[in-house]
Amino acid sequence: MSALSACDVRQDRRGNTHADRNTGRDTATETRAAQGSVTQPGRPAFDFYLLSMSLHATFCADHRDYAECQVASRPLVIHGLWPENVAPRTYPHDCPAPALELDPALRRELSDFMPGTQAGLEQHEWREHGACTGLDGNDYFRGALALARTLDAALSPTLTTLAGGEASALRLRAAADAYNPGLAATLTFHCRMPHGAGSHGRPMLFEIRQCVAADGAGGAPGTLLDCAKVNRHDQGCGATFRIARP
């Protein structure tokens, strides 16, 4: 582990994702998303969720000394499950909430899909995002895990095959739809130039996000959404991009 604190690790992992959220606005889709918005006493309203899955090899290309990067992991790992609004830069965050206390069995399951728990990532995500959902910590992370398992099954085989080479959003969407028709439309792909070596001057895929309605029990993640209809789109990837090799 580097000299950075766990808080530094988590902040760096989030990086500039606040800034790169789409800044366009479509009032028609805003109205549609709001149909599933959540309002609970003491919690702000929000329109939908974004599940953010990190490409672990890309993250570790820039952070090789972090504990989670010293062992093999899944190609896709959970970054967070974020309450979102269609209107840009209005998402709720840092809501008052009790301390996170996960069931031991759930914690073990989560660590498999969220290796950043070694640096306390789950605590950060709960404080900044989960506490604003109206869910308790166990239900919040169970929802994230259920979504993550589907994306892992749909995309990890293709990501493993393409590791070290080039890919396109078109190819990954084809894999998603082959697994479950319509899944591709619920995803956005996010690329950037890594600090480390190995990109060959091409952007690398660093995150895959999924748009999900907040229409499950008690405001949990429920129906998958077409991301375009809530004004969320691919960013920074171009026609092709690199997939980091573990």
The pLDDT tens digits of the residues spanning 141-195 come to: 999 999 999 999 999 999 999 999 999 999 999 999 999 999 999 999 999 987 6
Burial class (CB in 10 A: 0-12, 13-18, 19+), 31: exposed
User: Distances from the Cα of 238 to the Cαs of 50, 176, 180, 202, in angstroms?
Assistant: 22, 19, 25, 9
pLDDT score of 130: 97
Q: How far apart are alpha carbons 38 and 121 in whole angstroms?
A: 25
How confident is the model over 1-5, as a mean pLDDT?
32
How many Cα atoms are found within 13 Å in the side-chain-facing hemisphere of 176? Answer: 20
Q: How confident is the model at residue 13 (pLDDT cuts 50, 70, 90)?
A: very low
How do residues 67-86 score in pLDDT, each as one tens digit?
999 888 899 999 999 999 99
User: Distances from the Cα of 42 to the Cαs of 39, 134, 135, in angstroms?
Assistant: 9, 8, 12
Q: How far apart are alpha carbons 246 and 233 in whole angstroms?
A: 27
Residue 66 and residue 2 in contact, taking contact as beta carbons nearer than 8 Å = yes
Q: How far apart are alpha carbons 208 and 17 in whole angstroms?
A: 12
Q: What are phi and psi of 109, to 5 degrees?
A: -60, -45
Sorted by sequence, the CB contacts under 8 Å of residue 3 that are 6+ apart come out as none
First to last CA, the chain: 18
Count the Cβ atoms, other than its own, within 10 Å of residue 155. Answer: 21
pTM: 0.84
Tell me which CATH code domain 6-242 carries: 3.90.730.10
Greater confidence (39 vs 178) lies with 178
Q: How confident is the model at residue 202 (pLDDT cuts 50, 70, 90)?
A: confident
